[in-house]
Amino acid sequence: MTAPAPDSLALNADYFAGDRYSSEIELDTFRRIGEAVTREVRGVDLLLDVGNGGVFQYDPELVGRIVAVDLFLDRLPATRFPENVTPRHGNALTLDEPDAHYDAVLESLLYHHLVGATADDMVSNVRLAIAEAARVLKPGGCLVVAESCVPRWFYAVEKRLFKVLVALSKSPLLGGHPPTIQIPFELLVSLIAERLDVESAYKVPPGRWITQFGRRWPTALTPARAYMVVGRRRDG
């Protein structure tokens, strides 16, 4: 078992607790991701929203009850959350939630932040996050994943430059954005398939703008694209 490095945990908590992330999700690409997430969680009775970030890309009124967990939600005012939402401090790798309890789990734009001390730790941490999500799902419940993915060649570049990215995350150049690694879509699907039956996996149509390392970029200048994967826990 691996875990995010302490510095990475602190950077993630500080960055997403601020107002900058809230403004980022207004970009057209993020709105399209939100529309896709809304379609997948519509009508869910009890949803666990892991890595919530203190914001809702989807319409929470379309879900019965929501438990939102993240590293810093205990630092946010209760007025920031709709009435049907219970915010909790929590870690995607060690969810303090009961077995077989939720109708659905949402993990949106979370996995590329689960970096560890080395580049390879990220995949181990994604596996653990998926295993935790599968554990808390009721039989027949579904895991909804929205994730930013890159081609295999770019993933190889990110891995080679990981130590540089970690160093940059501690400098003003990235504006406090934590280090990240984005994996290929095919790898994401295979990791989810290790634990769940993959029901759908598709690309979200991009908008004109996207963010890389907390900076706004024209989508045409980055290979990163958003994808949705829905996996269902087997009965029994």
Residue labelled with tokens 């989508």? 219
Give residue 65's Cα distance to chain centre.
20
pLDDT given at position 74: 86
- Residue 209 tokens, joined: 């703008």
Give the tens place of pLDDT for each residue, 96-151: 999 999 999 999 999 999 998 899 999 999 999 999 999 999 999 999 999 999 99
pLDDT given at position 3: 53
Give the tens place of pLDDT for each residue, 154-211: 999 999 999 887 887 776 665 556 788 999 999 999 999 999 999 999 999 999 988 7
Give the tens place of pLDDT for each residue, 17-76: 444 445 555 688 999 999 999 999 999 999 999 999 888 989 999 999 999 999 988 888
| Region label for 99, one of left (φ > 0), alpha (ψ between -120 and 50) or beta (otherwise) | beta
Please report which helix (H) or strand (E) contains residue 144, including its range: strand 137-149
Domain that holds residue 20: 6-232
Q: How many domains does the chain have?
A: 1
Nearest to 117, CA basis, from 208, 179, 60, 176? 179
- The strand order across the sheet containing 46-50 reads 85-89, 65-70, 46-50, 102-108, 137-149, 225-232, 197-203
pLDDT given at position 176: 58
Residue 150: count of CB within 10 angstroms of its CB: 21
Q: What does DSSP assign to residue 37?
A: H
Residue labelled with tokens 């570049």? 157
Q: Is the pLDDT of residue 10 over 50?
A: no
Q: What is the pTM of this model?
A: 0.86
How distant, in Å, are the alpha carbons of 30, 76, 108, 112, 211 from that of 148?
11, 26, 9, 7, 10
Q: Is the pLDDT of residue 8 over 60?
A: no
Domain membership of residue 1 (yes or no) is: no
Residue 48: count of CB within 10 angstroms of its CB: 28
Domain membership of residue 106 (yes or no) is: yes
pLDDT given at position 201: 98
Split at pLDDT 50, 70, 90, the class of 12 is: very low
Residue with the larger pLDDT of the pair 215 and 24: 215
**Looking at residue 152, which CATH number applies to its domain?**
3.40.50.150
- Please say whether the beta carbons of 181 and 119 come within 8 A: yes
